[in-house]
A and B are shown apart, each in its own frame.
Chain A
Amino acid sequence: METNPYEYDSYDKPVAWIPQQNQSHPPYESRSDRTYTGQQQSAQVQNQKLQPAAKAQKPKAPERMSKARALNLVRGFKKGLVVASILSFASFSGLAAYHQVITTSSNTSSSTQTTPASSTSSKSSGSSSTSSSSTTSSSSSYFNQQGSSNFGSSSSSSSGSSVSGTSVS
């Protein structure tokens, strides 16, 4: 089975390589490997001598963030996300309600303005029907508000731009 190469497994796996000088029981001390154990030891001594210089030359790599610290950060982000999502839900509710109120009020005001002269308004809107009483316009405004202009009539509400004010898809 193919494994996930992008998995963050480095936190859970132990460090594989141990520096040679820190190992207490090197395996070379057995059998035929003893032939070059001396070379190895001399190399280790050389390596120990050269280490300070190498450390001074190499730029220090940035420290890995510990798993505990990362999880702490994640916990904080999760709390913030919950709060932010609830706040955004409330603000979206407010925006939707505000949009609804604005649309309804504009419809009401326009209907009260157009009720005495329904014929002129129908001409300006270009619609064929001249029935724009206050009751029908208010109900159609809610229909528009709900976005349900396609329930019955297809385009009668969208054509009346002077009535709906802000047209809602």
Chain B
Amino acid sequence: MSIWESVTWNVARAGGFTAYVLLTLAVVVGLALSTQLQSPSRWPRLINSELHNFLTLLSTIFMVVHVLAVWIDPFTRFGWNEIFIPFVGHYRPIWMALGIVALYLGIAIGISTWLRQRIGYTWWRRLHVLTLGIYVLVTVHGIGTGSDTQTWWALGIYVVSIVLVGSLFCRRLLDPAGKRKQQARAQASVRKNDAVPYGRSRVQNSDGVTAPRINNQRHPEIAHTR
């Protein structure tokens, strides 16, 4: 075996594992965003959001390294069609196809994030649920295709990753979306009440003064000009 073959093969394996670890972290932070694991004073939502984006970007970079190294590797001799078309490859076509499908799903979700302003939040969120499918596909692809699956360190990576994502996903399922929406609505209503400078509820609650509600009370300057 030549040195070049060793280098390309090792780079392909290391790139795949690094991309997988980064994808795991991105999914974990994304689930933390979804379950609102945050603290306004210590760990605000901004940090989770920025880290989620950056981890996804890093994972994509190492995924590209993984694909390029597999393509360059002179031993496996994968063609472009085997890398980009599912079930065409001569080497473990089913497991390889899972990785290829995950790649396309990732591209689709990336495009949906890029076009989020146009497609709207609802559709973006619906498409974003597919990231869990990507995670599952990539995990099965790694376990099925990877030549290091039976090593202790690869098994450790897979186990830790599945436990982390699984526990957060269970937490996400146990904390239903309706409850979170109710919390969000409650927060929004509190903000709205705060936005009324001389609203009836605020006056009643804080001062005990019951003033009649006037027209355009939310924008008193408009009433003033009229």
Known: A85-B22, A148-B91. A11 touches B121 (CB 8 A): no
- In angstroms, Cα B126 to Cα A112, docked, is 59
Nearest-Cβ distance from residue A149 to partner chain B, whole angstroms: 9
Known: A11-B46, A67-B46, A169-B149. A146 touches B76 (CB 8 A): yes
Question: How many B residues touch A, CB cutoff 8 Å?
Answer: 68
Known: A40-B211, A71-B46, A100-B6. A20 touches B197 (CB 8 A): yes
30 contacts between A and B (CB under 8 A): A1-B121, A4-B121, A5-B181, A16-B195, A17-B195, A18-B197, A26-B198, A27-B223, A28-B198, A36-B212, A40-B211, A44-B207, A62-B40, A63-B41, A70-B44, A77-B51, A82-B58, A89-B62, A92-B17, A92-B18, A93-B10, A93-B13, A95-B148, A95-B151, A96-B13, A100-B6, A145-B9, A146-B147, A147-B147, A168-B148
Known: A65-B41, A70-B47. A147 touches B145 (CB 8 A): yes
Chain A, interface size category, equals 35 or more
Whether B14 is near chain A, meaning CB under 8 Å from some CB there, is yes
Known: A4-B121, A89-B15. A167 touches B150 (CB 8 A): yes
Nearest-Cβ distance from residue A91 to partner chain B, whole angstroms: 8
Known: A2-B121, A5-B184, A6-B36. 15 other contacts (CB 8 A): A1-B121, A5-B181, A6-B34, A17-B194, A18-B197, A20-B198, A27-B221, A30-B224, A67-B46, A74-B47, A95-B14, A96-B13, A100-B6, A100-B10, A148-B91
Q: Which residue of A lies closest to B41 (CB)?
A: A62
Q: Are A65's CB and B148's CB within 8 A?
A: no
Whether A39 is near chain B, meaning CB under 8 Å from some CB there, is yes
Q: Which residue of B lies closest to A37 (CB)?
A: B211
Q: Can you list, as one digit per residue, whether each of B165-190 has a CB less than 8 Å from chain A (1) or not (0)? A: 00000000000000001001100100
Q: Can you list, as one digit per residue, whether each of A46-90 has a CB less than 8 Å from chain B (1) or not (0)? A: 110000000000000011110100110110011001100100111
- In angstroms, Cα B58 to Cα A89, docked, is 12
- In angstroms, Cα B207 to Cα A36, docked, is 14
Whether B11 is near chain A, meaning CB under 8 Å from some CB there, is yes
- In angstroms, Cα B83 to Cα A52, docked, is 70
On chain B, the residues within 8 Å of A135 by CB distance are none
Q: Are A88's CB and B18's CB within 8 A?
A: yes
Q: Are A81's CB and B58's CB within 8 A?
A: yes
- In angstroms, Cα B33 to Cα A39, docked, is 46
Instruction: Give the A-B pair count, Cβ closer than 8 A.
Output: 160
Whether A153 is near chain B, meaning CB under 8 Å from some CB there, is no
On chain B, the residues within 8 Å of A47 by CB distance are 206-207
- In angstroms, Cα B175 to Cα A144, docked, is 45
- In angstroms, Cα B46 to Cα A97, docked, is 39
Nearest-Cβ distance from residue B66 to partner chain A, whole angstroms: 10
- In angstroms, Cα B54 to Cα A99, docked, is 31
Q: Which residue of A lies closest to B54 (CB)?
A: A78
Whether A128 is near chain B, meaning CB under 8 Å from some CB there, is no
Q: Are B92's CB and A150's CB within 8 A?
A: yes
- In angstroms, Cα B44 to Cα A40, docked, is 38
Q: Can you list, as one digit per residue, whether each of B14-33 has a CB less than 8 Å from chain A (1) or not (0)? A: 11011001100000000001
- In angstroms, Cα B206 to Cα A46, docked, is 10
On chain B, the residues within 8 Å of A40 by CB distance are 198, 209, 211
Whether B122 is near chain A, meaning CB under 8 Å from some CB there, is yes
Nearest-Cβ distance from residue A7 to partner chain B, whole angstroms: 8
On chain A, the residues within 8 Å of B194 by CB distance are 16-17
Q: For residues 154 through 169 of chain A, which have their beta carbon under 8 Å from a beta carbon of chain B?
A: 166-169
